[in-house]
Amino acid sequence: MPPTRPPYPAELKRQIIELVRAGRSPSELAKEFEPTAQTIQNWIRQADRDEGLREDGLKSDEREELRRLRRENKQLRIEREILFKSSGLIRSGDRREPKKIFAFVKAHQALWPIATQCRVLSVSLSGYYAWRTRPPSKRAKVDMDLKKQIKVFHTRSDSTYGAPRIFKDLMDMGIRVGKKRVARLMREMTICGVSRRKSTRTTVKAHQDRKAPDLIKRDFTVATVNKLWVADITYVPTWSGFLYLSVVVDAFSRRVVGWAMASHLQSELVLSALNMALYQRRPEDVIHHSDQGAQYTSIAFGKRCQEAGVRPSMGAAGDCYDNALCESFFATLECELINRRSFRTHKEARLAIFSYIEGWYNPHRRHSSIAYHAPIAYEKLHQSQA
């Protein structure tokens, strides 16, 4: 690599500038002296700024001050970003844990200088490098193994599971670990579950003459399967318009035993969901609880219930608590699937909902209300104990 050329003497610059101002051209002077014509032009512009001759420029001392302020501003931005990013580790009044801070520094070394992080977070640089070279403790090794397994379960749930359900997954594998430890490791991994939001209702109030009585009075407790089914309808937004989903859920196991999808809200939609449930379960004297929607009070639906020996039950109009169990399923569906996806077509939405219900929710999705079992597993457990 050739050596860097030393700067031109200040006196040389000054004399050449005077010659240009006296009428000589930069290209003419470049032939006589070493600087290029472009370099001479740069000198002229800077001299004009220094002497206040160019309104759009800055003097040399002002330019240096601007550079200094920009460097300081950049440094302050970095420090603010470090403090903001590490706010979960360092709170006022909390006991400082250097190991966690060192782990944070290591994880962000490609983003910010290590020395800057250590200074901002008030840990020693030598302590950080000592921590880096120290072999991990037995507990740290166990934590690393747990994090790998936590990542597997979190990914399998499509990033919907929080600490309680992942804790149950680990327990079912025979891994003894505390729920708080799982929550701590998930915080360190910056992963979490999803939170539910209130679902949107699609009820169209029906004629009062065909309204069935409320047989459950908000008591969804049953001792076995096929004693109480709850049903409702929700809508799924797509780029092609709404797709409507009707479900029938077994109150004992929370299993979706019947479902149907359509682009309309006619009674055929709820009839299809009921027929699937009847075909799969073949119940005796089951209660079918729903809201007072026109689909459930239709003549066709009432006739089908009578033929199958199903006792219809309906909650109060417009009261979501009267059908809270089915509302809970829709809230979970929206939180874990619908609100996290954008569907172009009805076909795309149908496939996603089918995969969610039959490929995830029924066989794998854990429920706090049934001791964190999945619906199918809970039914099998109940059958084995019967």
Return the structure tokens found at 153: 């379960």
Answer yes or no: are the C-beta atoms of 164 and 368 closer than 8 Å: yes
Nearest of 115, 111, 132, 135 to residue 123 by alpha carbon:
115
Residues 6+ apart with CB under 8 A from 32: none
Lowest-pLDDT choice from 157-166, 266-275, 297-306:
157-166
Q: CA–CA separation, 221 vs 227, rounded Å?
A: 10
Least confident of 69-73, 80-84, 133-137, 280-284: 133-137
pLDDT range class, residue 171, cuts 50, 70, 90: confident
The four Cα atoms 7, 10, 11, 13 give a dihedral, to 10 degrees, of: 80
Instruction: Tell me the C-alpha distance between 259 and 280, whole Å.
Output: 11
Cα–Cα distance measured from residue 103 to residue 5, given in angstroms and rounded to the nearest whole number: 45
CA–CA distance, 155 with 167 (Å, rounded to integer): 14
DSSP element (H, E) containing 258:
strand 256-262
Strands 287-290 and 228-236: parallel
- Three-class SS of residue 291? coil
Domain 208-385: assigned CATH number: 3.30.420.10
The confidence band for 365, taking pLDDT boundaries of 50, 70 and 90, is very high
- pLDDT, residue 62, reads 76
What's the CA angle centered on 79, arms 184 and 135, to 5 degrees?
A: 45
pTM of the full predicted structure?
0.59
Residue 17's pLDDT is 83
**Could you state, in order of their start, the residue ranges of all structural domains in the chain?**
10-57, 62-133, 138-188, 208-385
**Are 228 and 251 in contact, with CB atoms under 8 Å apart?**
yes
Residue percentage of the chain with pLDDT more than 90: 32
pLDDT digits (tens, 9 = 90+) for 17-55: 888 887 888 888 777 777 888 888 888 888 877 776 554
Q: For residues 167 and 151, is the Cβ–Cβ distance under 8 A? A: no
pLDDT of residue 199: 47
Report, as an integer, the average pLDDT of 357-361.
92
Q: Where are the alpha helices (DSSP H) in 23-59?
A: 26-32, 37-50
Q: Mean pLDDT over residues 74-95, rounded? A: 76
State pLDDT tens for residues 179-231: 888 888 888 777 777 766 554 455 555 455 468 888 888 888 899 999 999 99
What value does the mean pLDDT take over residues 114-141? Answer: 87
CB contact at 8 A, 310 and 286: yes
Segment of 142-156, 242-256, 327-341 carrying the highest mean pLDDT: 242-256
Are 253 and 382 a contacting pair, CB within 8 Å? yes
**Taking residues 277-304, what's their average pLDDT?**
91
Q: Count other Cβ atoms within 10 Å, centred on residue 170.
A: 19
Which pLDDT does position 340 carry in this prediction?
Answer: 87
Would you state the pLDDT for residue 249? 96
User: What is the band of 57 on the pLDDT scale with cuts at 50, 70, 90?
Assistant: low
- Quote the mean pLDDT of the chain: 84
Work out the pLDDT band at 280, boundaries 50, 70, 90.
very high
